[in-house]
Amino acid sequence: MADTLSTIGSISNHLFTIFPDLPSGFSGLVLLEIADMARQHVANFTGQNIGSNGIGDSFQSAILDFAKADLIDLINAQQGGEEVKLGELSFKDTGEAISAEQYRMLGEMKLNALGKDYKVVQALS
């Protein structure tokens, strides 16, 4: 993936291109927020500092999978006619059923492969 998905802006743009039938209320800001939340999730899990620019290759795939799952969940939330709000976006349309579980499972597998950073501190007494 390299440099093509190295920022949350490029990830949100990628989401826009792979989901061409997004409801008209989905703006770039909503997709940017979804990408940023996925980035923060991966950073929290791994214990690594992942900035919004210059995202390392090893993190991009997991971030993208979590962003896809979150976007699909947001789209599916409108199926029952509920009103969905995220920031300034709100809509009541009904959507097509798509499962986010597969992307979430892929993201979890990739996170587990990345591992966590642990810091051990010895106390002097």
Q: pLDDT tens across 5-35, in order?
A: 999 999 999 998 888 878 777 777 889 999 9
Nearest to 67 by CA among 18, 124, 24: 18
Percent share of the chain, pLDDT over 70: 76
How much is the pLDDT for 94? Answer: 47
Q: Which residues of the chain have pLDDT under 50?
A: 94-98
Joined together, the tokens standing for residue 45 give 């899990």
> Does residue 125 form part of some domain?
no
> Does residue 41 form part of some domain?
yes
How much is the pLDDT for 101? Answer: 77
- Count the domains in the chain: 1
> Does residue 124 form part of some domain?
no
> Does residue 120 form part of some domain?
no
Beta pairing partners, 90: 85
Joined together, the tokens standing for residue 66 give 């979590």
Read off the pTM.
0.71
Collapsing DSSP to helix, strand or coil, 29 comes out as: helix
Task: Please give the residue range of the domain that contains residue 53.
Answer: 2-114
C-alpha dihedral, 66 to 67 to 70 to 76, nearest 10°: -120
Nearest-angstrom CA–CA distance, 83 and 118? 41
